[in-house]
Chain A
C-alpha cells in the first residue's frame, strides 16, 4: 500500500503566482513528513519537515507546508513562485516504527516567466 501520494506529476505556474504541490499520506499513527527538492543533475535537498507542534511549517527558500491531520495532507506552498523554483519535488514520510524514509513519486514544478 502506498504510504505517501503526490497526485500530480506536473504542476505549471506563472512566475509571481502562488504555488501548491500536493501530498497526501495514508498511515496510522503520527507520521513524520518531509519535503525534498531535486534540481536538474543534483541531489535531493531538504526543504522542511513536520514532526510535531505547529501545523504550519516554514522551510528553505520561502517554502512552507501545512500538516492537516483530518485530510491526511501535507501540501507544499509558496506565496510567489520564482523561475528558479522549477525542479522535482518529493514528499516523504517516516512511518511509525523503525522504517526508512518513504518517498512519493515526485511532482515536477515548472514556473513560467
Chain B
C-alpha cells in the first residue's frame, strides 16, 4: 500500500458527461501529480500541484482541469468526455518538488474510466 488513495476505482460513463476523480496523497506529502495511462499513449503526465498551487502542466486537455485543496487532497475533473478518454488515471504524491534529493513519487492504484 503506497498510502495514496484514489476514488472511485472504476467508473463507467457516457460520452459528453463529466466526472471527478479524487485523490488523497500520502500523509505529509505536498506534491500531487496526475497521470493518464492508455494502451496507445502509455503513461502521460497531466498536471502537478504543490501545496495548492499548479506547479507543472503536461499533455492535459482543455476539457480536463484539476485542483488541490487546502487539506492537500486533489481532484481531476474530466468534462465533455469522449471515447478516447477511456483510460486508467493515476494520482501520485511526493514530499516536495520532484528535484528534492531523495524524494520518491508514490502512486495510487488508479481510477479506471470507461466512456461508452
Binding site for B on A (CB under 8 A): 32, 34, 36, 42-46, 49, 51-52, 90, 94, 97-106
Chain A positions within 8 Å of B98 at CB level: 94, 98-101
Contact A51 B101 (CB under 8 A): yes
Contact A100 B33 (CB under 8 A): yes
Q: For residues 63 through 116 of chain B, which have their beta carbon under 8 Å from a beta carbon of chain A?
A: 90, 92, 97-99, 101-102, 104-110
Chain B positions within 8 Å of A44 at CB level: 90, 92, 107
Binding site for A on B (CB under 8 A): 2, 4, 33, 42-43, 45, 48, 55-56, 58, 90, 92, 97-99, 101-102, 104-110
Contact A43 B42 (CB under 8 A): no
**Nearest A residue to B102, CB-CB:** A51
**Nearest A residue to B43, CB-CB:** A103
CA distance A45 to B106 in the complex (A): 7
CA distance A94 to B105 in the complex (A): 11
Contact B58 A100 (CB under 8 A): yes
Q: Which of B33, B45, B56, B98 has the most CB of A within 10 A?
A: B98
